[in-house]
Structure 1
Amino acid sequence: MRILITGLTGPVGSFLADYLLTLPGLELHALKRWRSDPRPIAHLRGRVTLHEGDIEDPFAVDRTLAAVRPDRVFHLAAQSYPSASWEAPIHTMRINVEGTLNLLEAVRRHAPQARVHIAGTSAQYGTVRPDQVPISETHPMRPASPYGVSKVAAELSGLQYHDNFGLHVFVTRSFNHVGPRQGDRCSIQTFCQQMAAIELGQQEPILYVGNLEPQRDFTHTRDVARALWLLSEHAQPGEVYNLCAGQATRIGEIVQLVLARGRVPVEVRVDPARLRPSDEPILLGDNRKLRAATGWEPTIGMSEIVDELLAYWRDALR
């Protein structure tokens, strides 16, 4: 069975490849931008066939689909940071919307039998009142960032190709994913990176933070990878699934976990540059539809996530 992954170097892509390589009978391919950081996939060299190209380039995407003719496609390539979408909304739309359309068109031409996963986000729901959680897939979408808007458009494009052309498309609305190799844009990553830098004397003993009040539903990327494969096996075409742990953690509580595991005392200080124009107070997902379809359960909790990320950043910065 041939598998194609877009966004291999992103927060989830390399972990998905790691998981798929443990399964028998799979041939892995990936679309990779020439300018993407190769470090997250250094261990995959020789085990995944890389096809150079940008998801924004319809010719490169078409050429890759024609060469691979995959049986399954995991579309993870995206501009995936809400904060960056405020700075570059048009760029975000081009990658997330046009890129998805480029992929769907190429699948329609060259691999119409493929099962296609489109990665969406909980940011599509926008601001949700505490009495409206946990959020189910039927909750109205009113995104509060350009990133969220772009992912609504990408999801609806995928469902339209299912309805109009019969493609086997399923969508995940993923809540917060976190794990090593993710970079430093996610809040937990910045906290752990800063603590490691302070311990090594590379930063003054001040932990800079943004808004600590929001509550978010975090899932480790290894658990996410397993869920994506199970959905590719069992998801119904034309359906949407929340991908989440089903438990929310306040950002301030994560800071406290980092402080408790730090090796030196630090001051916590709010950095105005880390505050967004808007922040959803709580994003807590209902994962019952995913669990019913696949039997999936998360296995890695927040304490383990913080422990792993601190170890990762201590090693990376050393």
Structure 2
Amino acid sequence: MVERRGAVENLVIDSAFWRGRRVFVTGHTGFKGAWLSLMLARLSARVSGFALAPPTDPNLFTLAGVGAGLDDRRGDIRDLEALAGALEAAQPEILIHLAAQPLVRQSYAAPVETFETNVLGVVNALEAARRVKSVRAIVVVTTDKCYENREWLWAYRESDELGGRDPYSASKACAELVAQAYRKSFFEGGAAVVTARAGNVIGGGDFSPDRILPDAFRAIAAGEVLRVRAPRAVRPWQHALEPLAGYLLLAQKACEAPASCEGAWNFGPGADSERDVQSLLQRFMAPWGEAARWRIDGGEHLHEAGLLRLDAARAREMLQWRPRLSFDEAIGWTSDWYRAFAAGADMRAFTLNQIDGYLGQWTRLTSPFAERERDAAKETFHAAQGIA
């Protein structure tokens, strides 16, 4: 349960700030974009989205009915004029740029597309934002893989060297440089431009290929044995809701005190969540019983980092951001979501219940009905945990 983590009144997502706030999200049909759009809808923000069609079938955007609560616009982030037109029509105060080609292994297969989407996409988002005077804050989401990863034991800070051995990582390092250049060249004294770095997020509704838990779910559903490339590789696992809460806090801070928050921000979990892939699978698969099996895939594979940690001290101290879910809770919530999906549950209701349970621990509710709203969020979360 998450309520053990601290009193709601001491937390810092202010529902009054987000109520009616115009927010533009690129990549809203993707995994993280769908979760973020639902979070914003729960905070009563006015959300507009710009993205291609959902990248997989099934997908969270469709299953959770995300499009019902926002202005759903379709287009390619590489098309500057289409993006600029959508942004102009929405007149947002906050732009959160999530649209990307997000897969390391796909970047080896399609490097040109990866660089076009992940670098030119950021250029276009910032260029379009220059034309819209209503924009007060821009959050460009990159990844923990933007660092020059030396696989050392200590965590990377925002000031550490950027780099990238694979096309995906390199494209995200480039995105960081683009954001920095635009901030210094075109946004001084204007909208705040910040970047957010997180990685290895998990959560229900991810059906991407070559990701460990979606692959595990597909293997279980098909009655197959999951092949695992690197069971001893250590990752800092976190539920998608954790960094997304950080992005909301960062956007809020960028609007309220822009001079204090420029530059890059890490959103990574603590040491408790740094586990190897084997530990992740054991926890995820346990509720499925004998239907869940895996073995080591001994073939040759493309390079992937073995260890990468983030130092989130800046976010902890300046945003009061901290992960709310332990490793077991994050995996448990994810496993619960996939089991509910396999059982034919109403996935919009189930997903919103998880969001309510999470936001109920983060949100400072400022309406006269705060206690009632908070109690209702807890009740719906608790009801959602009763999965056979």
Asked whether 1:142 is paired with 2:176, we answer no
Question: Hey, what does 1:264 align to over in structure 2?
Answer: 290
Higher strand share: 1
Residue among 39, 42, 49 paired with 1:19: 39
Question: Does structure 2 conserve the Cα–Cα contact (< 8 Å) formed by 1:231 and 1:293?
Answer: no
Residue 254 of structure 1 corresponds to: 280
Residue 97 of structure 2 is matched in structure 1 by: 75
Report the counterpart of residue 223 of structure 2 in structure 1: 203
Look up the match of 1:100: 122
Please give the residue correspondences for 1:88-237 in structure 2 after superposition, counting only pairs within 5 Å: 88-111=110-133, 113-131=135-153, 133-166=154-187, 167-185=191-209, 186-195=211-220, 197=221, 202-204=222-224, 206-235=225-254, 236-237=260-261
CA distance in 1, matches of 2:295, 2:184: 50
Matched residue SS, 1:169: strand
Secondary structure in 1 matching 2:31: coil
Distance across 1 between alignment mates of 2:304 and 2:127: 34
Residue 77 of structure 2 corresponds to 55
- Structure 2 CA distance, aligned partners of 1:308 and 1:148? 28
Matched residue type, 1:303:
D
Cα drift, residue 86 of structure 1: 0.9
Corresponding residue number in structure 2 for 1:40: 60
Would you say 1:4 and 2:45 are equivalent positions?
Answer: no
- Write the distance in 2 (CA, Å) between the matches of 1:238 and 1:259: 41
The answer for unaligned runs of 5 or more in structure 1 is: none
Length-normalised TM-score, structure 1: 0.89
Give the distance between the partners of 1:144 and 1:291, measured in 2 at CA.
29
2:30–2:61 contact (8 Å) kept in structure 1:
no
Instruction: State the secondary structure of the residue aligned to 2:139.
Output: strand
In structure 1, distance between residues paired with 2:134 and 2:119 = 20
Contact 1:175-1:283 within 8 A present in 2 as well? no
Q: Are residues 78 and 276 of structure 1, via their aligned partners in 2, closer, same or farther at CA, if it must alter by over 3 Å?
A: farther
Measure how far apart 1:128 and its partner are: 2.6
CA gap of 1:305–1:237, structure 2 versus 1, over 3 A, is closer
Partner of 1:302: 327
Asked if structure 1 preserves the Cα contact closer than 8 Å seen for 2:196 and 2:264, the reply is yes
In the alignment, which of 312, 315, 318 is matched to residue 293 of structure 1? 318
- How far is the alpha carbon of 1:174 from its aligned partner? 1.1
CA offset digits 1:60-109 (Å, max 9, x no partner): 11111111121000000000011111111111001111111111111111
- What's 1:238 paired with? 262
Query: What amino acid is the match of 1:31?
Result: F
CA contact (8 A) 2:194 2:261 kept: yes
* Cα gap change, 1:259 to 1:40, in 2 (>3 Å): closer
Q: Deviations over 1:201-241 (max 9, x none)?
A: x323x221111122111221112221111001124453101
Any gaps of 5 or more consecutive residues in structure 2?
1-20, 255-259, 344-388
Q: TM-score, normalization: structure 2?
A: 0.74
Identity %: 24
- CA displacement 1:111-156 (0-9 Å, x = unmatched): 374300101111112433333x122112222212100111111111
Cα RMSD of the aligned pairs, angstroms, is 2.2
Check the 8 A contact 1:175/1:285 in 2, yes or no. no
* Structure in which a larger fraction of residues adopt helix: 2
